[in-house]
Amino acid sequence: SQQGEEDPQALSIQEGENATMNCSYKTSINNLQWYRQNSGRGLVHLILIRSNEREKHSGRLRVTLDTSKKSSSLLITASRAADTASYFCAPASNTGKLIFGQGTTLQVKP
Amino acid sequence: DVKVTQSSRYLVKRTGEKVFLECVQDMDHENMFWYRQDPGLGLRLIYFSYDVKMKEKGDIPEGYSVSREKKERFSLILESASTNQTSMYLCASAQSVLRAKNIQYFGAGTRLSVL
């Protein structure tokens, strides 16, 4: 399976700190996406990084991709209490289907 | 903005009942998906559809069927609900499965309890 495996499973930080979440996968990908889920709600797309890209930014989000190591990381800078949520990586196969991992639960304490 | 609407946020059904979960998207997307989400197991794909009347099994199709009679609507059917189908069900749509167009847009989810 090329399911994304997130690490750590849970992360607790203080407001203002940076949060880093990692993702590993097993097979070749077309792109890799990160999603966020607030408690009890649907997932929301955050960012997509193509297989030929190494780094991408969107606001306070920074995503890196290392296809040689089959890994990606999501960095949230200057975290806020509102960033409290679960974060999922989703590698996309060449057929375009996404495989979601179990997610990282982030708690940002005010 | 893409809108994916699931017909119910919460649903309580009895074992053996036939259950319909409805999902509608308003962006003319080709692809639609049904997932279930359980603690410790993440999101698992039940079925997906890449066109009207077309469907493909995902990772856990047993006990489920789907219907896509119109492009905007994708229904998940539990033929005879069982307690192990108690879960959060998430519907999603995507423009296509082609590169960079496979971003999925999710509904708010239906939390189904089977008693």
Q: How confident is the model at residue A3 (pLDDT cuts 50, 70, 90)?
A: low
Per-residue confidence at B21, pLDDT binned at 50, 70, 90?
Answer: very high
Site from A50, A102, A104, A105 to mutate, B interface, most B CB atoms within 10 angstroms: A102
**Chain segment B82-106, per-residue pLDDT in tens:** 999 999 999 999 988 776 678 999 9
pLDDT tier at A84 (50, 70, 90 boundaries)?
Answer: very high
Q: For the CA atoms of chain A, what is the radius of gyration? A: 13
Chain-chain contact of A31 with B40 (C-beta, under 8 angstroms):
no
**B7 inside 8 A of chain A by CB:** no
The answer to whether residue A2 scores a pLDDT higher than 50 is: no
From the list A17, A14, A72, the residue with the least C-alpha distance to A48 is: A72
- Kind and range of the H or E run holding B78: strand B73-78
The answer to whether residues A84 and A108 touch, using CB atoms and an 8 Å cutoff, is yes
Q: Is B27 on the interface with A (CB under 8 A)?
A: no
Residue B23 has pLDDT above 60, yes or no: yes
Beta-carbon contacts of B88 under 8 Å, excluding residues fewer than 6 positions away, are: A40, B36, B37, B38, B109, B110, B111, B112
B35 has a pLDDT exceeding 70: yes
Parallel, antiparallel or unpaired: strands A19-24 and A71-76? antiparallel
Which band of pLDDT confidence, cut at 50, 70 and 90, is reported for residue A63? very high
Q: What is the mean pLDDT of the segment spanning B25-48?
A: 93
The answer to which of A95-99, B55-59, B95-99 has the lowest mean pLDDT is: B95-99
Q: Which of B87, B39, B42, B88 is nearest to A102 (CA)?
A: B42
Using only C-alpha atoms, what is the Rg of chain B? 13
- When pLDDT is cut at 50, 70 and 90, the band that residue A57 belongs to is very high
Flag if B35 and A50 touch (Cβ within 8 Å): no
Residues of chain B with C-beta less than 8 angstroms from the C-beta of A96: 94, 96-99, 101-102
- Residue A28 makes CB contacts below 8 A (sequence gap 6+) with A51, A67, A93, A94
| Average pLDDT of every residue of chain A | 92
The pLDDT value recorded for residue B57 is: 95
CB-based contact B42:A102 (threshold 8 Å): yes
Residue range B51-64: mean pLDDT, rounded: 94
Comparing alpha-carbon positions, the chain B residue that sits nearest to A38 is B108
A40 touches chain B (CB under 8 A): yes
Give residue A1's pLDDT band: very low, low, confident or very high (50, 70, 90): very low
Q: How far is A78 from chain B (nearest CA, A)?
A: 26
Instruction: Please report which confidence band the pLDDT of residue A6 belongs to, taking 50, 70 and 90 as the band edges.
Output: confident
Secondary structure in 3-state letters for A6-63: EECCEEEEECCCCEEEEEECCCCCCEEEEEEECCCCCEEEEEEEECCCCEEEECCEEE
B111 to chain A, closest Cα gap in Å: 9
φ and ψ at residue B8, rounded to 5 degrees: -135, 145
CB B80 within 8 A of CB B16: yes
Task: Please check the confidence at residue B74 and state whether its pLDDT lies above 60.
Answer: yes
- Share the mean pLDDT of chain B: 94
User: Which chain B residues contact residue A101 at CB under 8 A?
Assistant: 42
